[in-house]
Chains A and B, each alone.
Chain A
Amino acid sequence: MAKKNKNVGMLILDFFSSYLLCIACLVILGLLVWFSTLEMKFIGLSGALDKYYSSDLDKFFVLPTINGDKVLPLPLPGAYWVCAVLFLNMLVGGLIRIRKSWRNIGAVISHFGIAGLLVVGFVDHHESIHSKMETFQGNTYDYTTKFDFTSIEVSEFTAEGDKKKPYVIKHDMIVDLEDGMRRFKFQDLPFDLEVRNFREHAVVRDVANYVKSQESGESVDGFFLQPAKFDASQDYYNYGCYVQVKPKNGEPPRQIILCRSMGFPQTFSVDGKLYGVEMPNEIWPMPFSVELINSVGEHYPGTNRPSKFQSTIAWTGKDDDSVEKLKTIKMNEPMRYEGFTLYQANWSEPINGLEFSGFEVVNNPADQWPKACMWISAAGLLIHFALRLFKYLVRETKKQNANQEGEA
């Protein structure tokens, strides 16, 4: 009997639900994971993440490198896109088109769990925010600083040199200014700011000792901002940009170079008042405040091997600010509140007599989803393999019985 001709739509559907596509995706994913693991030794973890697991379309194809320098002429699609196709394959082939029978119930359940894990990966990749909170004993903190997100902070300084509440220009508002310029107006400040020449990774050089390249901006007080190649092994983006302060009173504008690694504000005066502008990590306000009560760090006797890191904090939530609660955060025992999780990340001996504790604060909408996915996948696989084992044992028993009857 001649095969029925299929239309293009069905052929596409067949392709996306095929075993072959599933196997191809898994093999490519395996190769990507393998190459990225070996390459981490040379380009660091963040370099490997950027190269192999990026969702940027301009990094769609990856050329693996062997021993850090030999480029392998084997273009592979990035892992993000391979996972996207695998998800589609599982959805179409493993959930929608799979034969719905009791024999396949386990496979359907496990496909559902694994597809869920891929969703967790996508949500984590796009939505989770990681930040750090470095706390000293006795001080209260209601913000953290985001990893790899910069900002521009403008603040007035008191006569005693104390910083007043800053005005913040967020990462998203300046990250696209590589070629363009944007003017920021502040209602309560006697000046505007013009930001331009934003660089993802740059260093400040002095004109006397370095030659400016074409990408460098103009020099300010004998210095200029030189774009630099990102060193993935250092895992640090040294953002930089040029800022022009435009006083509203008609005073001449001032040119300022900002760089993330400077760590201190560039100051200027307008209307006799002192102001500062700097480029720290972007501040992230928290819906709670934390005060470090004490932190404990222990090592095994005679070694540098940590045996215990823990901190006791007093914290107050946004809705119950009159109630202060105590919580002890340990390794493997974080604090969770309103979708935020505080982890004990690092610890050091007291600094200037004050106990110190470093926390990582994470907001990930998919935080607890992996647990559900794990139970679903495990249950699915157990059902699937148990049914197969049962079928095998029944067949074997029948065979043995038949043999015994034959011998009799």
Chain B
Amino acid sequence: MLTRKGKLKLMNKKIRILGFVLTMLVILAVAGKGIRSLMVSEPPREITGYQQWNTEVVEEMRSLPVQDGGRIKPFQSLARRYMYAMHGDRGMKILVNGERVKLTPTEWMMDVIFRPGIADDLPVFRVDNSAILEQVDMEVKTLRDRYSFNQLKPHFVKLQEMFDDVKSQIDSRGKASLSNEQEQLYSFMQLLQGYVGLRNPFFIDEKTQEQSGYTSMKDFYASNQSYVENLGVAQEAGVVSLIEFMDGKIISDAILMNVINRRASYSNLVLNPTAGERAWSSIGKRFEEVSSVYGDAFSGYSQQVIALKEKYGALNTDNLSDYFKDYVPVYKSYMDSLPPVQKMKAPEFDVVGNEKVVLERFSEGLINEVEELERLQLALSSEEAGKQQAGIIAFKEKYADQIDFGDEGGSISGEIILNKMNYFNYGIAILLFAGVMMIAMCLSVGTMFGRILYWVVFGLVSMACLFTVAGIVHRSWIMDRSPIGTLYDTMPFIVGTGLILLLLIEWIHKRGVMLAVGIVFGVAILFLAKSFEIMDASDTMDPLVAVLKSNYWLSTHVVMITLGYMGGIVAAIISHFYLIGRVFGVIDDKETKRYLTTIVYGMIAFTLLFSLVGTILGGIWAADSWGRFWGWDPKENGALLIVIWMLVILHSRLGGYIREVGLHVCSVFGFVVIVFSWWHVNFLGIGLHNYGFTSADAMGSIWNFYYMEFLIMFAGIVMAIIGTVKKNNSKIDKQVTAIAEKSALNQPL
């Protein structure tokens, strides 16, 4: 039975714990707010006439195999990547007849491709800095907002002019000379152009129809047949009509091919099993190859024809025969330079007007693919769900069985399950729930309920760990490689391995602290991974470049370096708990202080071991790949900095230059060093490990993190100074008391 004094003491302890927990929550909230401030939160807009896709149709479409970024993936993954890049979110909220509807990436992408008329009204484009739109006299409401294609359309000309200026600046002074605003405009315009390419990519717009005379790709192929058939008619009308007829065809083709070439680079949507090639290339790529050769051929042809016309002037009966003799080799050369898939054998002219035309058949495959695409388009344009679904199924049956994933691995169904499972999102949710239970546990310290809650939290953190590890294994299985190959991969790996380690320590000591550390650590890094995936908008399962394709080195060097990061981060988070806990007086007993210090010391040793061995292994890999052990590349330097800092901490501790608080302050600074190595160097835009993106927002977040850490270190140092002063004062007081007592004793009675 507790006395009144005991109850007050317990209450006091609970209040301090609450203060400590609230401070940790405030830090998390500030970090979350920083990321949240990068998001756009506008109320959903009413989209008049929007019709939702049938669920089964969307389900079918999700798993349509596509070729994108060098690997075969489900349509859903491609749609997600585009939606992250353009919309900056995983879904799009709209109002349909007053009802709130959330469009998935697949549904949105289907709108863009198959019914662009509706898609153009959707608020797709996220603009982070509305100043670029104000410059083209657009009305804007907030700094960050989303706009539809139709809202932007009236301002295209001005935007294009600004874009051209930026491009010329890049050409003359390099990309580094761009201001943040120019960089944002550049990226925005690239996305806008990407969207234009996505809209209805296999069909020919009205303007091109008018100029070229072709209404579809099928028309184009058909025209080649009729061209040959009508050559005879043109001949009969005379040589001039024949030349005009041939020129007309070439010009029409060139106009069409020009449009296709422009669009083809975006049309990576449907696979084309190209016979004889190592991997499947996309149909867009095939069109691009064909049309670029067509464009080059036409350019050479037109220059020569212009030269001929300048030479002969107006054609008449006197010069026609000579002109034609010069013209025939030009025409033959044009025909010969066409790609095999398109080529008609050049007409063989024996005498003027008596040519023998031999038609080679076009590639059956390409024609069939175009026809299949048009069939798919027609099916999805119909309003009947049954027809839509049947169209997709027919298309998949035709191609999906022929997929060859090559060495890079891949699985359409596996990736669909991965996308559906959302392992890391579940991990965050479970950890957040564990956090709530943890607060309740802190407030029930010393009770049976508190003990039950302890095991509930332990179970939840273990479950989050399992989800994270399952996600890592699933991704690794799909990619058929070691779990870490990209920057994104490092984040779940750090969480998975960190949670295992923390749970082990917790299992041994059962103090609850490591569970709290695990919750904060797991939520922060998994949330970072989620934000990075959306902001970077690149495929997180990109195939690896040739030099990185080594499972041996990926499993040793990269894994060890990442384990080093994990050790340093875990140590730093424990040190945060220590420093903040001491400021709030939650951690006041010697035993807990020593316990936390010992764990941090152990984690620093762990970090040194893995960082050192990982860094040397990286050097050995570099020596095998590039011929030099050490090249002072920024990423190598970052890894070396971690090793150096861990050595500084351990030697300072051994030499007695730092004690408990000093160790924790140094450990927090270790976090700064790790973030520099893990993230900051990637934004420098130099070196072999450069990831190529330079986002001002991301750099801003990194600097905010540094400031926050320096603030915590400063608080720790101030606390250490106050502690030392207090200790000294108390020593002096004791000495004064002792002297006073001594002198009192020496006083004569």
Contacts and interface: CB of A to CB of B under 8 A. Distances in A.
B632 A343 contact: no
A48 B687 CA distance: 12
Contacts of B545: 305-307
Interface residues of B, number: 67
A19 B602 contact: no
Nearest to B280: A301
Contacts of A130: 627-628
B71 A300 contact: yes
A303 B648 contact: no
A302 B408 CA distance: 15
Contacts of A334: 624, 627
Contacts of A120: 629
Contacts of B69: 300, 302-303
B644 A331 contact: no
Contacts of B626: 343, 345, 360
Contacts of A230: none
Interface in A355-402: 360-362, 364, 366-367, 370-371, 373-374, 377-378, 381-382, 385, 388-389, 392
A305 B543 contact: yes
B439 interface: no
B648 A343 contact: no
A331 B549 contact: yes
A372 to B, nearest CB: 10
Q: Which of the four size classes fits the interface of chain A?
A: 35 or more
Given A30-B641, A37-B637, A385 B609 contact: yes
Contacts of A303: 69-70
A19 B684 contact: no
B198 to A, nearest CB: 15
B120 to A, nearest CB: 26
Contact of B609 (A53, A361, A382): A382
B685 interface: yes
A370 B602 CA distance: 26
Interface string A303-327: 1011111000000000000000000
A49 interface: yes
A404 to B, nearest CB: 14
**A29, A53, A332, A362, most chain B CB atoms within 10 A:** A332
A376 B645 CA distance: 21
A124 B655 CA distance: 32
A118 B657 CA distance: 25
Contacts of B216: none
Given A301-B282, A374-B613, A45 B632 contact: yes
Contact of A19 (B546, B620, B637, B657): B657
A243 interface: no
B627 A362 contact: yes
Contact of A332 (B553, B619, B654): B553
B651 A40 contact: no
Contacts of A22: 651, 655
Contacts of A341: 627
A332 B543 CA distance: 17
Nearest to A94: B651
A152 interface: no
A48 B637 CA distance: 12
A95 to B, nearest CB: 15
Given A23-B652, A301-B285, A307 B684 contact: no
Given A33-B641, A332-B624, A300 B609 contact: no
B635 to A, nearest CB: 9
A360 B623 CA distance: 11
A184 interface: no
B68 interface: yes
A26 B646 CA distance: 10
A371 B685 CA distance: 31
A27 B629 CA distance: 23
A307 B546 contact: yes
A268 B655 CA distance: 71
A119 interface: no
B620 to A, nearest CB: 6
A374 B657 contact: no
A38 interface: yes
Contacts of B681: 37
Contacts of B77: none
Interface in A42-59: 44-45, 48-49, 53
Q: Which secondary structure characterizes the binding site on chain A?
A: helix
Contacts of A300: 69-71, 279, 408, 543
Nearest to B648: A26
B455 to A, nearest CB: 20
A389 B69 CA distance: 47
Contacts of B550: 332
B546 A26 contact: no
Given A120-B629, A378-B613, A388-B605, A45 B686 contact: yes
Interface string B299-341: 0000000000000000000000000000000000000000000
Contacts of B630: 121, 124
B627 A343 contact: yes
B67 A308 contact: no
A33 B267 CA distance: 45
A30 B70 contact: no
A38 B546 contact: no
B623 A370 contact: yes
A383 to B, nearest CB: 11
A120 B629 CA distance: 9
B547 A33 contact: no
Given A19-B654, A45-B686, A332 B625 contact: yes
A335 to B, nearest CB: 11
Interface string B160-188: 00000000000000000000000000000
Contacts of B684: 37-38, 40-41
A114 B612 CA distance: 10
A37 B617 CA distance: 21
Given A37-B684, A130-B627, A385-B609, A371 B546 contact: no
B281 interface: yes
Nearest to A110: B612
Contact of B651 (A26, A49, A331): A26
B605 A385 contact: yes
A124 B629 contact: yes
A334 B684 CA distance: 30
A44 B176 CA distance: 14
B179 to A, nearest CB: 16
A23 B70 contact: no
B623 A367 contact: yes
A27 B648 contact: yes
B640 interface: yes
Contacts of B606: 385
B613 A309 contact: no
Contacts of A18: 655
Nearest to B282: A302
Contacts of A331: 546-547, 549, 625
Contact of B686 (A41, A298, A309): A41
B624 to A, nearest CB: 6
A41 B546 contact: no
B213 to A, nearest CB: 30
Contacts of A301: 67, 70, 279-282, 285
15 contacts: A23-B652, A26-B648, A30-B641, A30-B644, A41-B684, A302-B68, A303-B70, A305-B70, A331-B547, A331-B549, A343-B626, A343-B627, A370-B616, A377-B613, A385-B606
The 7 closest A-B pairs by CB, nearest first: A300-B70, A19-B655, A374-B616, A362-B627, A303-B70, A301-B281, A30-B644
Interface of A: 18-20, 22-23, 26-27, 29-30, 33-34, 36-38, 40-41, 44-45, 48-49, 53, 114, 117, 120-121, 124, 128, 130, 298-303, 305-309, 331-334, 341, 343, 345, 360-362, 364, 366-367, 370-371, 373-374, 377-378, 381-382, 385, 388-389, 392
Given A19-B654, A367-B623, A377-B616, 10 more contacts: A23-B648, A41-B684, A41-B686, A130-B628, A300-B408, A301-B281, A309-B546, A366-B629, A374-B613, A392-B598
